[in-house]
């Protein structure tokens, strides 16, 4: 599964770290649990496009997304 958050709705290029936008991950992962999904989850963060933020901000966003999504995916 590919996990990606978003702010602003269709046509808005704003893809922050998972857990900081408007996507209801609680509902998504509840539905996945219902059907027994146990596959991998990849994460994408695109921010608002170019110019990209400094590397330290990208790394912090990746850690934030990982920490947020980890609660949904057992080790």
Q: Please state, in angstroms and rounded to a whole number, the distance separating the CA atoms of residues 1 and 41.
A: 5
Q: Please state, in angstroms and rounded to a whole number, the distance separating the CA atoms of residues 70 and 75.
A: 8
Q: Which residue in this structure is represented by tokens 């990849």? A: 42
Average pLDDT, rounded, for the chain: 93
3-class SS at 47?
A: strand
Radius of gyration of the chain (CA): 13
pTM for the predicted model, two decimal places? 0.84
pLDDT at 50: 85
Q: Please state, in angstroms and rounded to a whole number, the distance separating the CA atoms of residues 17 and 28.
A: 16
**Mean pLDDT across the stretch 26-33?**
96
SS3 of the chain: helix, strand, coil, percent, to 5: 35, 10, 55
Domain boundaries of the chain, sorted by first residue: 2-70
């Amino acid at each position: 599964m590919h996990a990606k958050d978003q702010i602003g709705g269709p046509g808005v290029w704003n893809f922050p770290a998972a857990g900081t936008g408007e996507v209801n991950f609680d509902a998504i992962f509840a539905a996945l649990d219902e059907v027994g999904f146990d596959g991998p989850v990849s994460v994408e963060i695109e921010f608002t496009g170019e110019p990209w933020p400094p590397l330290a901000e990208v790394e912090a966003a990746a850690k934030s997304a990982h920490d947020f999504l980890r609660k949904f995916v057992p080790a």
